[in-house]
Amino acid sequence: MQRVTARAGANIALIKYWGKRDEGSNAPATPSLSLTLDQLTTTTTVTRLSGASQTIRDTFSINGETLSGKGADRLRRYLDLWRNEGLIEGPFAVSSQNSFPTGAGLASSASGFAALATALAAFSRKPLSKRLLSQLARRGSGSAARSIPGGIAAMPLSDDPAAREIVPADEVPWGMVIAEVESTPKAIGSTEGMNLSRDTSPYYTAWLATARRDYKAMLGAVKALDFTAVGELAEANSHAMHACMVATRPALLYWNDVTLRVLHELARWRKAGTVEAYATIDAGPHVCLLARREDLDRVLNLASKLPGVARARINLPGPPATVLEVG
């Protein structure tokens, strides 16, 4: 086998991961729970390069552009982790296509590392369980662990956590409208941001305690398929994470004026009985609107009309990360 193509969906956390328990193993300091998306995907082809790893180096490209510098170093270190664990051997060429903007706070690292780990697993010398694969994806990016099972996935707090499926994609009665807001690539990456919050935000400890409480309550709400409870918890949890971020010094202020406009409109829609939807926001200005499947068209219509929303699209719950082709 020389070449493997795998695909994974991005996921949006309904209970957020922000903070690391251990940087070496990339174990999160908060438990998290997410919905995988079917339209925001990364498709990655991994090709074995012939020759000794001492002379030939791994190569990386995203959307047809060769990756160099820090981005390539991070991926090379990730392949080193697999080589050091004795799972793979030799150099590889990795080529990824994202169906959405990279590095702009739309969870591209989640789908990216989940697709890469899934493709690498096909080259593995020993069989990897789903649990181990999720743990390995987490080593690349914490949120990537949750894109391995797909659907609604939960990752508990532990020294070496993996995400597991809570509700399979086709049984989740909700979806999301992603309202993309005009933005530039992030100035501060998530690891640096999390460390800054830990070191300087006066609300960091309160955030960790809140996340743990919210996670427990969310597991109950999701299992009961109680949409209102899920939406209210998700929105409150996202706001609590952003409060911790904004209080970081220097401030991690990911929202802009359009983000706020969407939040105010959303509250108006709920109050007026126009539609029941809830917001959750990652480390960027985009707003992810959670709604019942039957309300997604209406939310799309409303969100697309808001000034400053560059693009809005419907995402249904996405499947687990999968191998598409082996050659």
| Chain position carrying tokens 């209970």 | 15
| CB distance 49 to 326 below 8 Å | no
Kindly tell me which residue out of 27, 283, 296, 300 binds ligand PMV, with binding defined by CB under 6 A.
283
Kindly state whether residue 32 participates in binding ligand PMV, applying the rule CB under 6 A.
Answer: yes
Q: How far apart, in whole angstroms, are the C-alpha atoms of residue 270 and residue 152? A: 24
Q: How far is the CB of 32 from ligand PMV (least distance, A)?
A: 5
Stretch of residues binding ligand PMV (CB under 6 A), selected from 68-76, 94-102, 122-130, 140-148: 140-148
Sign of CA dihedral 217, 218, 223, 228: positive
- Residue whose pair of structure tokens reads 């899920």 in the numeric block: 230
142 contacts ligand PMV (rule: CB under 6 A): yes
Nearer to ligand PMV, 209 or 326 (CB): 209
- Candidates 180, 235, 265, 282; binder of ligand PMV (CB under 6 A) is 282
Compute, in degrees rounded to 10, the torsion defined by CA atoms 241, 247, 252, 256: 80
**Residue 282 vs 295, nearer CB to ligand PMV:** 282
Closest distance between ligand PMV and the C-beta of residue 105, in Å?
8
Name which of 265 and 282 has its Cβ closer to ligand PMV.
282
The interface region with ligand PMV, picked from 56-64, 125-133, 141-149, 269-277 by CB under 6 A, is: 141-149
- Please tell me whether residue 317 binds ligand PMV under the rule CB under 6 A: no
Distance CA 194, CA 199 (A): 9
- The whole-angstrom distance between residue 29's C-alpha and the CA centroid of its chain comes to 16
Q: Which is nearer to ligand PMV, 14 or 302 (CB)?
A: 14
Q: Which residue has the tokens 């409480």?
A: 213
Instruction: With CA atoms as reference, report the closest residue to 182 among 286, 279, 260, 262.
Output: 286
* Per rule CB under 6 A, count of chain residues that contact ligand PMV: 14
Query: Which positions ≥6 away from 23 have C-beta within 8 Å?
Result: 191, 195
- Site for ligand PMV, residues 102 to 131, rule: CB under 6 A: 107, 109-110
Q: 107: phi > 0 → left, psi -120 to 50 → alpha, else beta; which? A: left
Minimum CB distance to ligand PMV, residue 3 (Å): 27
Contact 290, 37 (CB under 8 A): no
The distance of closest approach from Cβ of residue 165 to ligand PMV in the complex, given in angstroms and rounded to an integer, is 17
- Check binding of 235 to ligand PMV (CB under 6 A): no
- Burial class of residue 39 (count of CB atoms within 10 Å of its CB; 0-12, 13-18, 19+): middle
Residue 16 touches ligand PMV, criterion: CB under 6 A: yes
Q: CA of 281: how far to CAs of 3, 185, 245, 304, in Å?
A: 36, 16, 12, 17
Contacts to ligand PMV from residues 187-206, by CB under 6 A? 190
Is residue 13 close enough to count as binding ligand PMV by CB under 6 A? yes
Regarding 143 and contact with ligand PMV (CB under 6 A), the answer is yes
Minimum distance of ligand PMV from residue 141's CB (angstroms): 4
Report the distance separating Cα 26 and Cα 22, nearest Å: 6
DSSP per position, 103-120: TSSS-HHHHHHHHHHHHH
Contact residue for ligand PMV among 4, 5, 7, 18 (CB under 6 A): 18
Closer residue to ligand PMV in complex, CB, 45/141? 141
Q: Enumerate binding residues for ligand PMV (CB under 6 A).
A: 13, 16-18, 32, 107, 109-110, 141-143, 190, 282-283
